[in-house]
Chains A and B, each alone.
Chain A
Amino acid sequence: MFNKAEKIREKYIREEMWPSIFCTGCGIGNVLSYTMRALDELKLDIDRCVFCSGIGCSSRLPGYIEADGLHTTHGRAIAFATGVKLAAPDLNVVVFTGDGDLAGIGGNHFIHAARRNADLTVICVNNFNYGMTGGQVSPTTPVAAVATTAPYGNLEEPFDLCRLAIGAGAPYVARWTVGYPYETIEAIKNALAKPGFAFVELLMPCPTGYGKENEQREPAVAWQWYKENTITRGDLGRLDPEQRAANRKIVVGTLWDVQKPEYTARWAEFVQSL
């Protein structure tokens, strides 16, 4: 179905940057692979793509891609990406971010970019903690989960990033776990093709940080957890109403897909009209 891994690697990856910094059992390498496969499938010209990121493990991704990249400061990837898109609306602008970067320190940029609806593809790797700095509570850490800054469990309610994106006005929102390769690649393809702010949340284990504290230290166990604790939107729909109401699993799938005027196109029209 897809091009072979070696071909993808040869075509898009900076060989000299290998091996990556990612820990055993981490899914960020998969996110890179899925994104490159989606790009390849869509036959997008990599020279017309810009990859932006903030700070965190997932934000290291642009460094591995043989393309223009902008590695910025904590939380600001979307703000920088908005600048790139506005200056050069023809480019495909992709943001790699994490839960802490996107919804913690960069939360304001996230909601305003969704509201503004410039054509950005935002891929958020959600591993439920600040992984790179050593496993602190993040805005998506579940209640009662253990973190280095919450040794007896987290008290704060987490964000549902997809609901936040939908509420803020994003026209395309999907959530998968990295354990669903084909669905994830399709979602990234949809997001890249979507004219507007497209958001893909990818749930992913962090054996070194979150996993270590929450009985997901073993990569196989961790990946299994994501399989067992998620349900596709389709499967949820097939449950009877009582079961559906009782569902506590995280829902994955395409969660929102609507048409909305894109910001840079509106800007161009606006300028023409003056």
Chain B
Amino acid sequence: MAQNLVALAGNEAVAYAFKQARPHVGSAFPITPQTEMMHKFAEFVANGEVDTEMILVESEHSAMSAAIGSAAAGARTFTATSSAGFALMWEMVYVAASLRLPINMALVNRALSGNINIHCDHSDSMGGRDSGWIQVFCENAQESYDTALMNFRISEHMDVRLPAMTNYDGFIISHTEDALYLLDDDTAYDFIGPYQAKYALLDVENPITVGPLDLTDYYFEHKWSQMEAQKRVFPVAREVMSEFGELTGRSYDFFEEYRLDDADLVMVVLGSSAGTTKDVIDEYRDKGVKVGLLKLRLFRPFPVAEIVKVLAGRKAIAVLDRSASFGGFGGPVFTEIRSALYRQEQTPIHNWIYGLGGRDYDLKQVAEVIEKLQQIAAGEELQEVNLLGIRL
């Protein structure tokens, strides 16, 4: 199948994916580093390249509210934000998932205030990990584009009907020009398919009320339905990713295994840091160190069974978190992985919190972690939760 090799920044790449989904409605408010994504989309609308009603709302709270209204009315809907914008959406983020509205959002990861910082970390998306959204993290522009396309299919699947966020690292991916393949518009749209509304407000023959009072009687059961829907993401995502692989030749899974087959030492990372990590892993492999990477893509729902299968029995695992859980035992990815591996063979699992507020994640830091992993595998007792690349 013909694909066009182009050079685009991550924001533009995702704007293309959103355009190709032909959403009926989009709403957005400017926030760095998401803004170019919205510019690009507004340009598509203005040039008549996509027939989307674009609402330039007055805040992110309004952006998500408008998206909820639109999705409840039966329209394919998208929005995009970052950092404080996502935090301001907070109330509505939970409502979107609770109402089972398959809204698609680009969350261009950026540190939360304060102090004010515009650079990448995952504290924004990690705040939304319990909100009921599907969360996928991407390594580069190609993966962000592909994920955005696939997320429409997954979130809108009748077994799922959940909102989905495509997470990609602010500036590192959003603003960096990258080479990637784009599908042509029709192929991409055919892959996603036309939107099918379920319980749309505009179905006047079958009027419904969305979001009314739900107290001790049925609220709990509605939360159960969200939990069940999250579980149904796994088979649906598998199916969608496999179909996408056949279409494009680019295969994805819940996570990527890099030189993991015989690895004694494993690093776990999300997002763009995977590239840097792979480079250093190659260096250590050349030296005969059996180290590999698990790049986690699907964070919500968390693919616990598959992760246990891959990680159980390793000699030492390092989980890297690009966000902190203040006062908690390690970062959110660490907590999740460690909890998943409980009662498996006693693999030591350590945590490194790194890259907060865009602090560069460099080759030396990866090497530092691999060196520590070797010491841990050799039986040394090291601190379980550590900071990487901090200046103290």
Contacts and interface: CB of A to CB of B under 8 A. Distances in A.
Interface string A99-143: 010001101000000000000000000000010111011010000
Contact of A133 (B32, B43, B60, B84): B32
Contacts of A74: 31, 59, 84-85, 88
B282 interface: no
B324 to A, nearest CB: 19
A210 to B, nearest CB: 13
Nearest to A71: B116
Contacts of A149: 30, 38-39, 42, 54, 56
Given A55-B116, A105-B29, A136-B30, A75 B38 contact: no
Contacts of A75: 59
Contacts, number: 59
Nearest to A133: B30
Nearest to B28: A149
B59 A133 contact: no
B58 A105 contact: yes
A134 B42 contact: no
B35 A150 contact: no
Residues of A in contact with B, size category: 20 to 34
A230 interface: no
A110 to B, nearest CB: 12
A181 interface: no
A73 interface: yes
Contacts of B56: 136-137, 149-150, 156
A148 interface: yes
Nearest to A156: B56
B385 to A, nearest CB: 29
Given A107-B58, A149-B56, A134 B116 contact: no
Contact of B30 (A71, A107, A130, A152): A130
A150 B39 contact: no
A148 B41 CA distance: 10
Contacts of B39: 134, 136, 148-149
Interface string B98-133: 000000000000000111100000000000000000
A136 B31 CA distance: 10
Nearest to B29: A105
B224 to A, nearest CB: 35
A136 B35 contact: yes
B46 interface: yes
Contacts of B38: 136, 149
A75 B31 CA distance: 12
B36 interface: yes
A132 B35 CA distance: 10
B113 to A, nearest CB: 6
B59 A105 contact: yes
Interface string A132-168: 1110110100000000111110001000000000000
Contact of A150 (B32, B46, B88): B46
A143 to B, nearest CB: 14
Contacts of B35: 133-134, 136, 148
A156 B57 CA distance: 11
Interface string A208-220: 0000000000000
Interface string B43-87: 100110000001010111000000000000000000000001100
Given A105-B88, A134-B35, A134-B36, 5 more contacts: A74-B31, A104-B29, A133-B32, A134-B30, A148-B42
Interface of A: 55, 71, 73-75, 100, 104-105, 107, 130, 132-134, 136-137, 139, 148-152, 156
10 contacts: A55-B116, A73-B113, A74-B85, A104-B58, A132-B32, A133-B32, A136-B30, A149-B30, A149-B39, A150-B56
Closest 5 CB pairs of A and B: A133-B30, A105-B59, A149-B42, A151-B46, A136-B30
